[in-house]
């Protein structure tokens, strides 16, 4: 499909990855948007689920909660976000998310500019050999402009 033809992606389709024990599906990659953005869905299992460490990056990120009630940290704010909640993390703000509830959660995320999805692909590939240490994750993340500031959110608040 040519880039100017647009994209129609049926439900459940995309490039599926294991990212930190969660199912991450890349819906739109940078090469499909002329570098403008990437879109991905994160499906968290019931608690305790692990999210990424607290981090910053220069990309702007929008999260829309599709299902469940994941926990987000956005700057100093910690919020439980029920389905329908939208969160905007401008480039440079510290943020992370996880699922602390006993039922699954799904989040649709948009990140601009695109290209950041390569971090998910690389982490997913490395995890096939076993869990990544915090140092390994920090090294990979740094290649994509991410600065790790702290650990993931703990399972309980």
Residue 157: what pLDDT? Answer: 62
Residue 99: what pLDDT? Answer: 96
Res 69 pLDDT > 90: yes
Q: How confident is the model at residue 15 (pLDDT cuts 50, 70, 90)?
A: very high
How much of the chain, in percent, has pLDDT values that exceed 90?
Answer: 86
Higher pLDDT, 4 or 105: 105
pTM above the 0.85 mark?
yes
CA distances from 97 to 7, 136, 144, 149 (A): 28, 20, 19, 14
Q: Got the DSSP string for 136-155?
A: HHHHHHHTTT-EE-SPPPPS
Q: How confident is the model at residue 28 (pLDDT cuts 50, 70, 90)?
A: very high
Q: Give the integer Cα–Cα distance in Å for 98 and 7.
A: 29
Res 4 pLDDT > 80: no
Q: How confident is the model at residue 49 (pLDDT cuts 50, 70, 90)?
A: confident
């Amino acid at each position: 499909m040519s880039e100017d033809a647009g994209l129609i992606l049926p439900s459940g389709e995309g490039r599926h990855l294991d990212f930190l024990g969660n199912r991450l599906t890349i819906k739109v990659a940078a090469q499909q948007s002329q570098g403008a953005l990437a879109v991905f869905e994160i499906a968290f299992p019931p608690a305790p689920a692990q999210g990424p460490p607290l981090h910053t990056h220069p990309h702007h990120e929008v999260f829309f909660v599709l299902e469940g009630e994941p926990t987000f940290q956005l700057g100093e704010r910690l919020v439980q976000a029920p389905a329908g909640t939208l969160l905007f993390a401008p480039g440079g703000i510290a943020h992370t998310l996880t699922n602390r509830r006993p039922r699954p959660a799904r989040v649709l995320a948009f990140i601009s500019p695109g290209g950041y999805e390569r971090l998910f692909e690389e982490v997913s590939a490395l995890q096939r050999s076993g869990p990544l240490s915090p140092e390994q994750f920090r090294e990979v993340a740094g290649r994509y402009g991410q600065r790790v500031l702290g650990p993931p959110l703990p399972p309980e608040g």
